[in-house]
A and B are shown apart, each in its own frame.
Chain A
Amino acid sequence: MAEAHPVGFQWVMEAKRRGARVIHVDPRFTRTSAVADLHVPIRAGTDIAFLGGLVNHVLSNDLDFREYVVAYTNAAAIIDGDYRDTEDLDGLFSGYDPETGRYDPDTWQYQHPDDEDGDGHRGDDGGDGEDQGSYGGPGSSEHSSQESHDSAHSESHGSGGAPVPHKPKRDETLQDPNCVFQILKRHFARYTPEMVKEVCGIEPEQFAEVADAMTSNSGRERTSALCYAVGWTHHSVGAQMIRTASILQTLLGNMGRPGGGILALRGHASIQGSTDIPTLFNILPGYLRMPNAEMHLDLDSYLQPDEGKAGFWGDMRKYMVSLLKAYWGDAATPENEFCFDYLPRITGDHSTYNTVLGQIEGRSKGYFLVGENPAVGSANGKMQRLGMANLDWLVVRDLQMIESATFWKDGPEIETGELVTEDIGTEVFFLPAATHVEKAGSFTQTQRLLQWRDKAVDPPEDCRSELQFYFELGNRIREKLRDSTDERDRPLLDLTWDYPVDTEGDPDGQAVLREINGTGPDGEALSAYTQLEADGSTSCGCWIYCGVYADDVNQARRRKPHWEQDWVAQEWGWAWPANRRQLYNRASAAPDGSPWSERKRYITWDADQGKWVGPDVPDFIVDRAPDHVPEEGAEGPDAIGGQDAFIMQTDGKAWLFSPNGVADGPLPSHYEPPESPVHNPLYGQQNNPSRRTLDHPVNPINPSYSEVFPFVFTTYRLTEHHTAGGMSRTLPYLTELQPEPFCEVSPRLARMRGLTHGEWVTIATARSAIEARVLVTDRLRSLRLGTQVVEQVGLPYHWGRNGITQGDSPNDLVNVTMDPNVFIQDKVGTCDIRPGRRPRGPALTAYVEDYRRRAGVDTETGSPGTPPRREGLTT
């Protein structure tokens, strides 16, 4: 965190000053480790085993916060009797289809409360899956399993849980062998400290220290927080890593409580905002799902899975209709389903890596790169550049002439001859962009906090803001289509597209923010998403942002210093939703509404006033008593009971076990990274069985446990440089701080390969080979796992061929294998490292070819074949 978020890290130092204990788990010893109380070196990519070890420690020693777990989680829920765990199937869950690599979650579902025979259906009738007596609206478990089956859908459950058709049968004593709590215990039983040593290379003494620290600092009186970034998400099991953390924090009662929680450290380029008002293919603002061409033929079928479900997610119609009104204004009427048909539809996985493959295969013709530099910043740089070389046109908007704009004349493939400039037909447009101080706008980051930035200076010369660019582009396209009678052009022509602009033509960002906030029937700014209606009388660009412009004041622009406020500091910026700073804060009180302890008092029930009170906005229906029992058949927010703290879940509980919504299993399991020198000690199933591969000659994969690629590599960041380097390697003051590309290795690896500190080395994978200087340092540890010692090569990834400091891009080494939930690549792989500089020109391709040949990489398909399952694995 100190490396990538030094300014935010001041609060960790402040907490430390006040007595907090800081534990840093990372493959390398970083500037965070230097000031932490404990650094735990871990083999890159093995965090599920580590966190699972902590979960097992909690469960085996009865260290969970039992009252919290029983009341607020689905620990007591009983699962379908046909459920089979990875313990039963040596690394697979029931419902796996080896042909597609997907799971059918049918056997992961809750048993119905009236289910006699545990077959998952109501009564004893071997029913047809139609639920009756469910507390939500219509919805069959079959439909939801189909949707979960299509993992392009699972991301749209972001803000609310995946729907379950009914609340589960429960065993409040947590003893039933099919209850979640017992399943959890069985699932993690072999994640012992010895196993953690064998998988992660973490010594049992250190593991014990972490386990004791976390458990002794959780409970009524104290809470612990976890912070993470791409060290957890850039993996083919990334979503499950977060899941494991979530299970741990939920068992310890750290969710929804002050000083607890799980913080995703993000926000540099408003990346939280980039999923809230999304730039992702499969979601709409506020984590509504993008309609699917096959499943969502009309508004009703689109809303059907969630409509009426318990919790605020059940009000989805109101959010969706208001969004459509924001997009199409007066043209959106009840008669035309508010122009629902105007929305583009997805047909499958249109994620970035698949799109790049589409570029290579000629299916995708154009590309906008807006503040993005995939030639350096995305996995498998060559794949990115080959894709761009095959486009008809490419638009690059950036502050500097980045590598993605110049790949056609000086990229690595020009040097090797794999691409020839004259033969590249892509028309490249470079448009200079305004920086974040040259335009007004908001950033949204880790705490869901929107912070507005004023414009400080005018952009120079031709530089323009994105807002101006897209607004102007829309104007010109609409002008061209003005007289069109083609139905196909109506979505563009009917858009609300009128923002006030300044003398330079730059639209007023606050007008856009106000539109996002939403307006009521007479155009007044709304204050809360509970004001949204499904009849078209309200308009709202993003329901979770509703309230940011309440009272026609830009709430995101507030800057009351913390010394003028209480410790929650609600008047600095604005957090979504509803300026609520701590989500799920109902859980900060006991089931009866009293605080868990005075020390951790937050939101409590005031019986006299008949409402929830505290220093934050309650994340609950403000006047719903803790003992409230919803009526049979209640829908939407009415179905929330007084102890359903996790209100966005359809059963109101935190999910230790996920019946739906996660593509690769209801529980996390340790799988090895797609390239690994280690046989999975836990299961015969080596890798994530649902991982998404990209089988193409441009994306070959190293065979695991290969002597040709015996070392692990992982990429990471330095404080001095920023992402792909466009904003740092072009500036003298930053460049001189880290002036040359380097890698980091342990002294033992240096001795093994004859590497000299400060000299050049070459690092090779099946994709490519790069060169860098080497720092031999104790900050990279040789990790002893049982009898095997694993060496890791650390690679700051910031370098490319442009700028003051130039170098090869470590992302050229990375293979694209993706997490099946969110299609994010794994940044861990295997490699070889040798002293000396790399070959130049065509000799480089020959060098890489030679590695592939020796490793047995099939250059036709790019695949060495699946690593064999280890049969007969015993614990």
Chain B
Amino acid sequence: MTATPEAPRAGGIHPNSFHGPLPDVAADAGYVDHPPRKGFFTDTSVCIGCKACEVACKEWNEVPADGYQLSGMSYDNTQALGAATWRHVAFVEKPLNPTTTDLGLPGMGPPGFEGYESGVQTAKPRPEDQATESGDGSIRWLMSSDVCKHCTHAACLDVCPTGSLFRTEFGTVVVQQDICNGCGYCVPACPYGVIDLSEDDHKAHKCTLCYDRLKEDQTPACAQACPTESIQFGDLDELRERADARVAELHEKGVDVARLYGHDPGDGVGGDGAFFLLLDEPEVYGLPPDPVVTTRDIASIWKHVGAAAATLAGLAAVSFLGGKRS
């Protein structure tokens, strides 16, 4: 999938760079006439945690159910993305402004709950702590539907030895199970921990951004099902404009915590094809704060290897050749 000499230069630092801004991922992957890049903008400020996205995804893609265990993580029993979960709704309960002191009692549970007397405080939430445009006297509940980011620079794609993972004409990243050999290189490569090997067929599986539906000019199942349009699907640059407007709207309403995540083409993965509006730090949602494509340093790694090899060769030459004089 390398660019042929006749194909237009796709931009970036230089051809086949693993990092840096890349305005046209599909062209970089070799597509000549391709549709606009598609992606998701997930506005978590209107997510109601209904999990229709999880169910719609599984129904459409026939992804198996993967475990019946109460996690204790609020209402999130799905826990993480994986081979059998391609949409995952996170639930984070965050107490606000506890006004009573820790009574020193040991306890386990969601952060912030231990040792304080709930219900007897009347602290008003600070504007910067508002969840959506609201806040309760003592708690806010963040909800967010996580998904494969379809990175501009996708490390999983970079490291796949078989070509099973490929870039589609829509700029999305898809894995083909019939080619995948189950080596698992892609698993640690992903900076977000998305892709995983299935317990059933030992192949890699992840969100396809409903590639089959895109080919029929349809909306991905999760976006179609979402009742509040938290998950928005469309052309990526249009989504980014929409997202900027939404953040500005929220800031104007006093929701200063609203921020975008994964929208910036200058970030460590070149920007995500699926990006978010969050109401807190990414870590709160279980997202890496500064994701970097793990193949970023490959070029320099090889340079270092080359330099080390040359040094070794040079030292060897010096030690062996130098001894011939006597």
- Give the CA-CA distance A776 to B111 in the complex, in Å: 11
Question: Does residue A38 face the partner (Cβ distance < 8 Å to B)?
Answer: yes
A736 adjacent to B49 (CB under 8 Å): no
Which range holds the interface residue count of chain B?
Answer: 35 or more
B139 adjacent to A29 (CB under 8 Å): yes
A746 adjacent to B118 (CB under 8 Å): yes
Known A7-B227, A33-B141, A783-B119; contact A736-B67, beta-carbon cutoff 8 A? yes
Known A34-B143, A203-B122, A737-B51; contact A747-B228, beta-carbon cutoff 8 A? no
- Give the CA-CA distance A35 to B279 in the complex, in Å: 12
Question: Does residue A734 face the partner (Cβ distance < 8 Å to B)?
Answer: yes
Known A7-B227, A733-B65, A748-B118; contact A740-B46, beta-carbon cutoff 8 A? no
Residues on B with C-beta less than 8 A from A738 are: 75, 77
For B70, B112, B114, B143, the residue with the greatest tally of chain A CB atoms inside 10 Å of its CB is B70
User: Which residue from B48, B68, B117, B139 sits with its C-beta under 8 Å from A35?
Assistant: B48
A6 adjacent to B52 (CB under 8 Å): yes
Question: Does residue A337 face the partner (Cβ distance < 8 Å to B)?
Answer: no
- Give the CA-CA distance A814 to B122 in the complex, in Å: 33
- Give the CA-CA distance A864 to B54 in the complex, in Å: 49
Residues on B with C-beta less than 8 A from A10 are: 227-229
* B25 vs chain A, min Cβ distance (A): 32
* B134 vs chain A, min Cβ distance (A): 5
Q: Which of B102-110, B145-153, B155-163, B215-223 contacts A (4 or more CB under 8 A)?
A: B102-110
Residues on B with C-beta less than 8 A from A805 are: 68
- Give the CA-CA distance A274 to B78 in the complex, in Å: 36
Question: Does residue B116 face the partner (Cβ distance < 8 Å to A)?
Answer: yes
Question: Does residue A735 face the partner (Cβ distance < 8 Å to B)?
Answer: yes
A34 adjacent to B78 (CB under 8 Å): no
- Give the CA-CA distance A723 to B150 in the complex, in Å: 38
- Give the CA-CA distance A201 to B55 in the complex, in Å: 38
Question: Does residue B113 face the partner (Cβ distance < 8 Å to A)?
Answer: yes
- Give the CA-CA distance A783 to B107 in the complex, in Å: 21
* B146 vs chain A, min Cβ distance (A): 15
Question: Does residue B93 face the partner (Cβ distance < 8 Å to A)?
Answer: yes
A13 adjacent to B119 (CB under 8 Å): no
Which residues of A from 16 to 33 have beta carbons under 8 Å from B? 16-17, 22, 29, 31-33
* A202 vs chain B, min Cβ distance (A): 11
Residues on A with C-beta less than 8 A from B122 are: 203, 205
* B193 vs chain A, min Cβ distance (A): 20
Which residues of B from 65 to 109 have beta carbons under 8 Å from A? 65-70, 72, 74-75, 77-78, 93, 95, 105, 107-109
B48 adjacent to A9 (CB under 8 Å): yes
Q: Which of A226-234, A574-582, A750-758 contacts B (4 or more CB under 8 A)?
A: A750-758
Question: Does residue B138 face the partner (Cβ distance < 8 Å to A)?
Answer: yes
- Give the CA-CA distance A22 to B120 in the complex, in Å: 24
A784 adjacent to B119 (CB under 8 Å): yes
For A6, A719, A737, A782, the residue with the greatest tally of chain B CB atoms inside 10 Å of its CB is A737
Known A29-B139, A776-B113, A783-B119; contact A736-B65, beta-carbon cutoff 8 A? yes
Residues on B with C-beta less than 8 A from A778 are: 93, 95, 110, 112-113, 118, 138-139
B58 adjacent to A733 (CB under 8 Å): yes
Residues on A with C-beta less than 8 A from B229 are: 10
B228 adjacent to A13 (CB under 8 Å): yes
- Give the CA-CA distance A6 to B230 in the complex, in Å: 12
B143 adjacent to A31 (CB under 8 Å): yes
* A779 vs chain B, min Cβ distance (A): 6
- Give the CA-CA distance A748 to B109 in the complex, in Å: 13
Known A740-B70, A758-B70, A776-B109; contact A782-B132, beta-carbon cutoff 8 A? no
A779 adjacent to B51 (CB under 8 Å): no
Question: Does residue B140 face the partner (Cβ distance < 8 Å to A)?
Answer: yes
- Give the CA-CA distance A543 to B58 in the complex, in Å: 45
Question: Does residue A206 face the partner (Cβ distance < 8 Å to B)?
Answer: yes
B227 adjacent to A9 (CB under 8 Å): yes
- Give the CA-CA distance A695 to B312 in the complex, in Å: 95
B70 adjacent to A2 (CB under 8 Å): no
Residue of B nearest to A39 (CB): B136
Question: Does residue A621 face the partner (Cβ distance < 8 Å to B)?
Answer: no
- Give the CA-CA distance A514 to B298 in the complex, in Å: 73
Question: Does residue A71 face the partner (Cβ distance < 8 Å to B)?
Answer: no
Which residues of A from 701 to 760 have beta carbons under 8 Å from B? 718-720, 732-740, 742, 746-748, 750-751, 756-758
- Give the CA-CA distance A2 to B54 in the complex, in Å: 17
Which residues of B from 151 to 200 have beta carbons under 8 Å from A? none
Residues on A with C-beta less than 8 A from B131 are: 34
Residues on A with C-beta less than 8 A from B69 are: 739-740
Residue of A nearest to B142 (CB): A34
- Give the CA-CA distance A748 to B64 in the complex, in Å: 39
Residues on A with C-beta less than 8 A from B67 are: 736, 739
For A34, A778, A783, A789, the residue with the greatest tally of chain B CB atoms inside 10 Å of its CB is A778
Residue of B nearest to A791 (CB): B119
A781 adjacent to B138 (CB under 8 Å): yes
Residues on A with C-beta less than 8 A from B140 are: 34
Residue of A nearest to B89 (CB): A737
B139 adjacent to A31 (CB under 8 Å): no
Question: Does residue A298 face the partner (Cβ distance < 8 Å to B)?
Answer: no
A751 adjacent to B68 (CB under 8 Å): no
Residues on A with C-beta less than 8 A from B136 are: 29, 33, 38-39
Residue of A nearest to B50 (CB): A6
* B92 vs chain A, min Cβ distance (A): 10
Question: Does residue A310 face the partner (Cβ distance < 8 Å to B)?
Answer: no
A757 adjacent to B118 (CB under 8 Å): no
A773 adjacent to B139 (CB under 8 Å): no
Q: Which 4 A-B pairs have the closest CB atoms?
A: A782-B119, A732-B65, A758-B72, A739-B68
Pick 5 A–B contacts, CB within 8 A, sort by A: A31-B48, A41-B119, A718-B75, A732-B65, A740-B70
